[in-house]
Amino acid sequence: MAPDKYTAFIKKKATQLGFEYCGIARAQPLEEDARRLETWLNKGFHGSMKYMENLFDLRVDPGKLVPGARSVITLLMNYFPSQQPSQSSPRVSRYAYGKDYHEVIREKLNVLIFEMRSMIGDLNGRGFVDSAPVLERSWAQRSGMGWVGKNGNLINKQSGSYFFIATLIVDVDLIYDDPFAKDFCGTCRKCIDACPTEAILNDKVIDGSKCISYFTIELKDLLIPQEMKGKFQDWIFGCDICQEVCPWNRFSQPTREPEFKAIPEILEFSIGDWEALTEESFRRIFRHSPLKRAKLAGIKRNLNFIRQDSDENTTEHKGDINDK
């Protein structure tokens, strides 16, 4: 069967599985991305995330992940929630409201590969969702899905940036989409100006070691650096500030994936509720949640950090009143 028939079949199945977008690019080394990644690592922007230094060759060459790779299929799945937390709740990044996306998307990728083998025959392919050193945003741009914004997120002109990106590398020739050539950020600086830790630099470079998501998820130290005090704005797991201010996210629509429905506690818990949480309750409530990555100890460390700011602000406010 011709590549165009295979391509149409794959895109139809991707839609049936709940992916909003499916694009395909020719598998080839990402030479420009390799130079950019090397510079980023040399500047130490990955902080303590030493795993990002590993498997460099695999990150920039799909043929090293799947021998004989011919095509890179990129899939986007919307996670924008229909519900918002109460104003008194500590903040959790929207991607973590529901079930762990690794579990949800991995299952869908396995189904897609099975369907492709049923249709095409024997093929060598692997699916990835944050499970291997793949430069997902670069492949998404090469597949025509959007551009990489100043905040480092892939932005789709029709739907914004609240998407998970999955990648499927196969040794089959397909019909390739045109790369997305234009950058629609223009002169906008909303994400740069809004970032409280100044993690977003010019030229679409992110200092990951300054990002709130880095401190609240990746950093394993017992203490968060004191120079970050007053900058977390109640975020205890991840951060969405740069996406919240992005004008393109006015087009975001609630996800249709039921597995991403918000866990009630994430929407309702106060700081006191989080602080009273036991290990047993944490494991029960968040056993399928991305929050388990930070563990309860990490969540409570983050809570304590933002609680200090809250207590100090309350003290200062009382002092002002007494002075009057």
DSSP code per residue over 77-115: EE---S----TTSPEE-GGGSSS-HHHHHHHHHHHHHHH
Q: What is the pLDDT of residues 102-120, one digit of tens each?
A: 999 999 999 999 999 999 9
Global confidence as pTM: 0.92
**pLDDT (0 to 100) of residue 95:** 98
Give the model's pLDDT for residue 74. 98
Residue 322 has pLDDT above 60, yes or no: no
What's the pLDDT at 249?
98
Please state the domain count of the chain: 1
The token pair at 106 is 């991995």
> Can you tell me the mean pLDDT for 284-309?
94
pLDDT score of 177 = 98
The confidence band for 87, taking pLDDT boundaries of 50, 70 and 90, is: confident
Nearest-angstrom CA–CA distance, 240 and 229: 18
Mean pLDDT of 71-96: 95
Q: Whole-number mean pLDDT of the chain?
A: 92
pLDDT the model gives residue 311: 54
Residue 220, amino acid:
K
Query: Residues of the chain with pLDDT > 70: what percent?
Result: 94
pLDDT at 248 over 90: yes
State the pLDDT at residue 88: 82
> Is the per-residue pLDDT at 213 higher than 80?
yes
Contact 97, 263 (CB under 8 A): yes
Domain ranges, residue 111 = 1-324
pLDDT for 316: 46
pLDDT at 308: 77
The confidence score (pLDDT) of residue 203 equals: 77
Band of pLDDT at residue 318, cut at 50, 70 and 90:
very low
Residues forming the active site: 130
- Contact assessment for residue 142 and residue 62, using Cβ atoms and an 8 Å cutoff: no
Q: Residue 1: its pLDDT value, please?
A: 65
